[in-house]
């Protein structure tokens, strides 16, 4: 059974860069055709897709975040990463990592999510 | 502001049926599959429906999906109090070259 677990700081200062890791167990992230992505959810609000990496290096990003986001992966560690720079209070959210198969929109597996608060 | 429009809330009595709509355009629902997710309070979303009308094995057949033109619909029959959750539609958008997620619909089982 595939499992995903987010890891990273719970508090980030304004203007700093958020770095999150998704630790994947139960299957390789190197499998072609699978998307490894990030979705976030501000408190009390809806889901927002951030982006995904697939086929070991191809990327898609949400256009509204593209200038600030970098997603990467380390297949040797079976982990993938999110970096979001120039953080503001509007970036306060629960960040989920997720795996899609058969299309980036078919999100089969989700991490439990990690709350990131932007505050000084 | 999402490119997919869902009603903010729906409600129905236990045992009844409810439908949740998801309206898009030719660049998203009109040319791509729709999937649906259930998010119970305090939990991560869970895949309910993929490729418009397919259910993962563990999802009961009380949940169904359909697509017509640029709209998708999630149906839930035999409503239970445990179905109270937020529901999201998701698809690919060819213009955005990104995944699009609807604003979410809160289901209340009265």
Q: What is the mean pLDDT of residues B48-73?
A: 97
pLDDT score for A32: 86
Residue-wise pLDDT for A1-41, tens only, equals 999 999 999 999 999 999 999 999 999 999 888 999 999 99
* A39 CA: distance to closest CA in chain B (Å): 10
pLDDT score for B6: 98
Residue B31 DSSP SS3: helix
- Positive or negative torsion for Cα A110, A112, A117, B3: positive
Contact A110 B50 (CB under 8 A): no
Q: What is the mean pLDDT of residues B47-61?
A: 97
Contact B44 A111 (CB under 8 A): yes
Contact B35 A62 (CB under 8 A): no
> What residues contact residue A104 under an 8 Å CB cut-off, 6+ apart?
A35, A37, A52, A54, A60, B92, B99
The structure tokens listed for B110 are: 């009265």
Residue-wise pLDDT for A41-72, tens only, equals 999 999 999 999 998 789 999 999 999 999 99
Residue B34 has pLDDT above 90, yes or no: yes
Name the band, by pLDDT with cuts 50, 70 and 90, for residue A103. confident
**Mutation site, A5, A38, A44, A47, interface B, largest B CB count within 10 A:** A47
Q: What is the mean pLDDT of residues B81-87?
A: 97
User: Cα A72–A111–B109 angle (5° rounding)?
Assistant: 140
Contact A102 B102 (CB under 8 A): no
The structure tokens listed for B27 are: 């660049």
* A52 CA: distance to closest CA in chain B (Å): 9
């Amino acid at each position: 059974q595939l499992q995903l677990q987010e890891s990273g700081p719970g508090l980030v200062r304004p203007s700093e860069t958020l770095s999150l890791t998704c630790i994947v167990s139960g299957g390789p992230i190197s499998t072609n055709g699978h998307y490894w992505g990030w979705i976030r959810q501000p408190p009390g609000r809806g889901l927002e897709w951030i982006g995904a990496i697939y086929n070991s290096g191809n990327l898609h990003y949400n256009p509204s975040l593209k200038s600030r986001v970098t997603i990467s992966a380390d297949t040797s560690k079976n982990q993938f990463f999110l970096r979001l720079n120039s953080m503001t209070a509007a970036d306060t959210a629960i960040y989920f990592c997720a795996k899609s198969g058969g299309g980036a929109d078919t999100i089969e597996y989700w991490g439990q999510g990690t709350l990131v608060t932007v505050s000084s | 502001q999402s490119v997919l429009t869902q009603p903010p809330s729906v409600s129905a009595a236990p045992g009844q049926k409810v439908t949740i709509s998801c309206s898009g355009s030719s660049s998203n629902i009109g040319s791509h599959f729709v999937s649906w997710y259930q998010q119970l309070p305090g939990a991560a979303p869970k895949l309910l429906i993929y490729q418009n009308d397919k259910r993962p094995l563990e999802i009961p057949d009380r949940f169904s999906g359909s697509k017509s033109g640029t709209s998708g619909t999630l149906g839930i029959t035999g409503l239970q109090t445990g179905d109270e959750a937020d529901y999201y539609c998701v698809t690919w958008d060819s213009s955005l070259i990104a995944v699009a997620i609807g604003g979410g619909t809160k289901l209340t089982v009265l």
